[in-house]
Amino acid sequence: MSDQVNLTAEERTTMGKSFNRNLRRSGSIPGVVYGGKDLPKKISILEKEIVKAVQVPGFATQVLKISLSGKNVDVVVKEIQRHPITSRVMHADFMRVDPDSKITLIVPIRTINDDTCVGVKVNGGQVNHLINDIEIICLASNLPEYLEIDVQEMDIGDSVSLSEINLPDGVEISLLVQGEERDQAVVSVTETREMIIEEEVEEVDLEEEEGEEGEEGEEGETSEGEEDRKSSDEKDTDSSEGKERKK
């Protein structure tokens, strides 16, 4: 398990784009805490604190504690908004959770022993990650940072579906709750695909050269035919001139 993340926030009453810009210039970012029985609260958090927190493994899939107005509030991250170019954190949304209440959250799917997988190490195949994250339902107190699949014994042609994942106690996969027909493969082992690039370009060049030679041959034949016709025409002219002189 990752270290527990604790954040300190201040409630803010002012809002708007101009205020948020000034807030960011001062070294803090705007955010909101909502959910549960209390009303939503606009907050501000030191940027350096949230930047440090997001670097903690499992930050987005664990119950965090935010110190707000002298009270610790259990929350989970619902959204971290970043600048599209600089990736700077621009806004943070947190949802209050009760350890004994069910929540719905997306968690990553990780595989272990990829390098020692039978299909990879013995038969030269490759592990394919078909789904990288999945939505789960569980008590906030049972929230896993990720779901894990051991691929060590998998061989070429094997796959693991959602229904075959070993889930922690009290954790359900949302898709499977909707029906067994929503089950699908998550990881598979297949043969390594090799890209074979044939020398098609050279073959095309040869065909073009042959075509050009053929055209040259046809042009030569046409020239010879024209010469034959010219010779025949000249003979006919000479014959006509001879007949006129005899007359």
Task: For residue 110, give the nearest of 84, 141, 140, 134 by alpha carbon.
Answer: 134
The Cα 192–Cα 206 span in angstroms is: 33
The 10 Å Cβ neighbour count of residue 109 is 19
Note the pLDDT of residue 83.
Answer: 92
Q: Is the pLDDT of residue 91 over 60?
A: yes
pLDDT one-digit tens code per residue, 6-42: 899 999 887 788 888 888 999 999 999 998 888 999 9
Q: What is the pLDDT of residue 238?
A: 52
Task: Give tens-digit pLDDT for 46-79.
Answer: 999 999 998 888 888 888 999 988 899 999 999 9
Q: What is the pLDDT of residue 203?
A: 54
Q: Where are the domains of the chain?
A: 6-97, 103-191
Higher pLDDT, 215 or 66: 66
pLDDT of residue 160: 96
Q: Give the mean model confidence (pLDDT) for residues 176-185.
A: 93
pLDDT at 148 (0 to 100): 95
Q: Which helix (H) or strand (E) holds 214?
A: helix 200-246
At 2 the three-state DSSP class reads coil
103-191 topology per CATH:
RNA Polymerase Alpha Subunit; Chain A, domain 2 (2.170.120)
Three-state DSSP class for 218? helix
**Rounded-to-10 torsion of CA 164, 169, 174, 178:** 80
What is the rounded CA–CA span in Å between residue 145 and residue 1?
Answer: 8
Higher pLDDT, 230 or 117: 117
Give the pLDDT of residue 136.
95
Q: SS3 of 59, please? A: helix
pLDDT value at position 165? 95
> Which architecture does CATH list for 6-97?
Beta Barrel (2.40)
Span 120-135, average pLDDT: 93
Please check whether residue 154 is in contact with residue 126, taking contact to mean a CB–CB distance below 8 angstroms: no
Residue predicted with more confidence, 160 or 240: 160
> Taking the model in full, what pTM does it have?
0.66
Residue located via tokens 């107005």: 69
**How far is residue 196's CA from residue 176's CA, in Å, rounded to a whole number?**
40
Is the pLDDT assigned to residue 202 strictly greater than 70? Answer: no
Pairing of strands 71-82, 89-96: antiparallel
